[in-house]
A and B are shown apart, each in its own frame.
Chain A
Amino acid sequence: MTETMASTWVNPDLGKTPEELLVERSTRIKTAYAMGQPDRVPISLGLGYFSAELAGVSHADLYRDWDLQTRVLVEAARRYGPDETLGPWHDPRPSTTLGDRMTRWPGWSLPDTSSYQFDEHEFMKAEDYDAFLSDMSDFAIRTYLPRAFSELEGLQYLPPLGMSLFGYYNIILGLPAVGAPPIQKALAAIQKAAGEQAEWIGMSVAQAQALAAIGVPPVTWLGALTEAPFDFMSDTLRGMRGIFLDLRQRPDKLLAAEKKVLDFQVDYAIATCRMLGIPYTFIPLHRGSDGFMSIEQFEKFYWPQLEEMQLRLIDAGITPVVYYEGIWDQRVEYLARLPKGKSVGMFQNSNMKLIKETAGEAMCIVGGMPNSLVRSGPASAIREKTHELCETLGKGGGYVMATYVNELEGCDPDMVGVWVDATKEYGVYR
């Protein structure tokens, strides 16, 4: 394609009302998710922190000033006109109130210009498995929360939660314990954080409305959030070192724990999706990627539990939207066996051609544009790559254009524009 041809292209979104655009864009993504062929390849833009960079403010400023956050996000969405977008990740306040030891935020415990990051710890020790397996809820409330959140340390003084089953008699000795200052302090922190979270949800709804007013929908997959059972045990409980030692040293306990967290996560996801009326569950994967464990280990500890989670969600009418982080080239055959058109796969560093060839019949594919390319160009290379992605991954539908990680931090604003426009030009299905 030559630059001359590009210059004759007219953006088809021009002249449409926000209402028309909202329906068109949302339908485009949902059609692709369901393995259909929309009018053109949809494009998903995680504008989040990038919208701050565009506006010349820091990432932390977005958290300090929600009006500013919505204003710069709407401005960025107006500039590019994506088919869906996502704002900056969450709100640091509830984490701060609870003394959350596993998250780090720009402007709080990271520089203003940094990005949200997860800080992994071994909150659950190897010797905790028996307590975890015998009474998971008691372990969660009286052991785990006090370790993971500094302001919830008082919860360790609660009587065993089973004592609540003693009805009236538990009031005599159990209830006074709840009045103890450390427990009261923890309960107050929970109440305060819940209030902050409610405010944030209110802001998010208003923000979605502001985006809708210019015809840009929020990301489609914002229903429930779950993790592969292996990752659930790893990320917020055992940490990577702990979980991989478990895999070798106490495999039976790890498998039993995975079964437990599989069951309640599925129940939770189904209930959440029904409550919100959004039939999508986002499942970001971490340790299943090529390179972390062997195929034999993957077949025993990772895939069966993740597959069962997906199948049970699909049975309940929910589409799992799975972020296959890392590289899945050696594991793509497993993906190919999932029920056709019932799940969505977002990909990071996998060989996208291989993914399309092998799993392209099974699932909608999201991703493919290297972050490094949109970051610095040149424009001709971006247009060429976009064209190639539309022709290959986009073939037959079931494809959503996005960067490797659906974020754009540090990208050149003009190059993002070149990429979005090229998608709208080359992505048209004829």
Chain B
Amino acid sequence: MSQALIDAIAEMEDEKAVRLAGELLGGGETPLAILEDCKAGMAVVGDRFERGEYFVPELILAGEMLKQISDIVKPHLTQDGDAPKLGKVVLGTVAGDIHDIGKDIVNFMLDVNGFEVHDLGVDVSVDRFVEAVRAERPDVVALSGFLTLSYDAMRDTVAALEEAGLRGSVKIMIGGGTVDDQVRAFAGADAFGLNAMDAVNMAKSWTTAGVA
């Protein structure tokens, strides 16, 4: 374990972090160990975000560091070393809405907090959500929407999951724009969140409680 690499990621020293990763690899460190350091660094970033010390710029820079280090390290990976995940989340911005900023932040925070995230992108049709839930069997479905019109698409998506007999196997969270508890009730979702940490905490409460 390289504390220097963990610290460089945590302290937003992007150039140093990428350089250290290259040096570690060159010095014979295993790719898996380097990725473990990255994960430890990202956990610090996630903690600081949750405490209100870090904000979106730091999440984006952390993501950039992770991507650059993965690009260096992954060609040398010989085995799949992913740790067990806390749970599986199918995520997407609902039909008719192409906003992705909030969704991407939720994706990032779920990912660094140990969830396997299947991001379906933006303007995701009801059918695509149903197919993805059928194929992936997630614990959680996360519906994002910025437009007030997205309330309808959220309701339609929840109804389609119900109709497909899949509603009982998942917890559904919604977020984005002007979503509130009234929208949650209208859409038939289980919970709504105001930010990415809400999403992580809801997902954790649902999966660790063994609901799904």
Residues of B within 8 A of A414 (CB): none
Chain A: which residue is nearest B151 at the CB level? A410
B55 and A293 form a contact (CB under 8 A) = yes
B182 and A373 form a contact (CB under 8 A) = yes
Residues of A within 8 A of B64 (CB): 245
A292 and B56 form a contact (CB under 8 A) = yes
Tell me the complex Cα distance, A293–B56, Å: 6
- Cβ of B205 < 8 Å from any Cβ of A? no
A117 and B60 form a contact (CB under 8 A) = no
A370 and B180 form a contact (CB under 8 A) = yes
* CB of A380 to closest CB in B, whole Å: 14
Q: Which of A330-383 contact B (CB under 8 A)?
A: 348-349, 370-373, 375-376
* CB of A419 to closest CB in B, whole Å: 14
A370 and B182 form a contact (CB under 8 A) = yes
B182 and A372 form a contact (CB under 8 A) = yes
Q: Which of A255-306 contact B (CB under 8 A)?
A: 291-294, 297
* CB of A254 to closest CB in B, whole Å: 11
Consensus secondary structure, chain B interface: loop
Interface centre among A113, A120, A294, A373 (most CB of B within 10 A): A294
* A248-B12, A371-B148 known; A241-B178 Cβ under 8 A: no
Tell me the complex Cα distance, A113–B182, Å: 23
A240 and B182 form a contact (CB under 8 A) = no
A245 and B61 form a contact (CB under 8 A) = yes
Residues of A within 8 A of B60 (CB): 240-241, 244-245
Chain A: which residue is nearest B52 at the CB level? A294
Tell me the complex Cα distance, A117–B101, Å: 13
**Which one, A9-17, A203-211, A311-319, A401-409, is touching chain B?**
A401-409
* CB of B113 to closest CB in A, whole Å: 18
Tell me the complex Cα distance, A248–B54, Å: 12
* A245-B57, A248-B58 known; A376-B182 Cβ under 8 A: yes
Residues of A within 8 A of B149 (CB): 113-115, 409-410
* CB of A391 to closest CB in B, whole Å: 21
B178 and A117 form a contact (CB under 8 A) = no
* A245-B64, A376-B186, A405-B148 known; A349-B178 Cβ under 8 A: yes
Tell me the complex Cα distance, A292–B178, Å: 16
Tell me the complex Cα distance, A18–B12, Å: 61
Quick one: CB contact mask for A93-131 with B, threshold 8 Å, 1 for yes? 000000000001000001101110101100000000000
A291 and B56 form a contact (CB under 8 A) = yes
Residues of A within 8 A of B61 (CB): 244-245, 248-249
Quick one: CB contact mask for A227-262 with B, threshold 8 Å, 1 for yes? 000000000000011001101110000000000000
A372 and B186 form a contact (CB under 8 A) = yes
Q: Which of B162-193 contact A (CB under 8 A)?
A: 177-180, 182-183, 186
Residues of B within 8 A of A375 (CB): 148, 151, 186
* CB of B17 to closest CB in A, whole Å: 13
* A291-B195, A409-B148 known; A240-B178 Cβ under 8 A: no
B57 and A248 form a contact (CB under 8 A) = yes
B180 and A117 form a contact (CB under 8 A) = no
Tell me the complex Cα distance, A409–B53, Å: 37
B147 and A409 form a contact (CB under 8 A) = yes
* A372-B151, A375-B151 known; A117-B186 Cβ under 8 A: no
Chain B: which residue is nearest A53 at the CB level? B149
* CB of B152 to closest CB in A, whole Å: 6
* CB of A413 to closest CB in B, whole Å: 15
Chain B: which residue is nearest A294 at the CB level? B55
Interface centre among B57, B98, B179 (most CB of A within 10 A): B57
* CB of B87 to closest CB in A, whole Å: 25
Q: Please give the residue numbers on chain A whose beta carbons come within 8 Å of chain B beta carbons, in ascending order.
A: 104, 110-111, 113-115, 117, 119-120, 240-241, 244-245, 247-249, 291-294, 297, 348-349, 370-373, 375-376, 404-405, 407, 409-410
In order of increasing CB-CB distance, the 5 nearest A-B pairs are A244-B57, A372-B182, A114-B96, A244-B60, A372-B183
List 28 A-B pairs, Cβ < 8 Å.
A104-B98, A110-B96, A110-B98, A111-B96, A113-B149, A114-B96, A114-B149, A120-B101, A244-B57, A244-B61, A245-B57, A248-B12, A248-B61, A249-B61, A291-B56, A293-B56, A294-B55, A297-B55, A348-B178, A372-B151, A372-B182, A375-B186, A405-B177, A407-B148, A409-B147, A410-B148, A410-B149, A410-B151
Given contacts A244-B61, A245-B64, A410-B149, 7 further A-B contacts (CB under 8 A): A111-B96, A119-B98, A240-B101, A248-B14, A248-B58, A297-B55, A405-B148
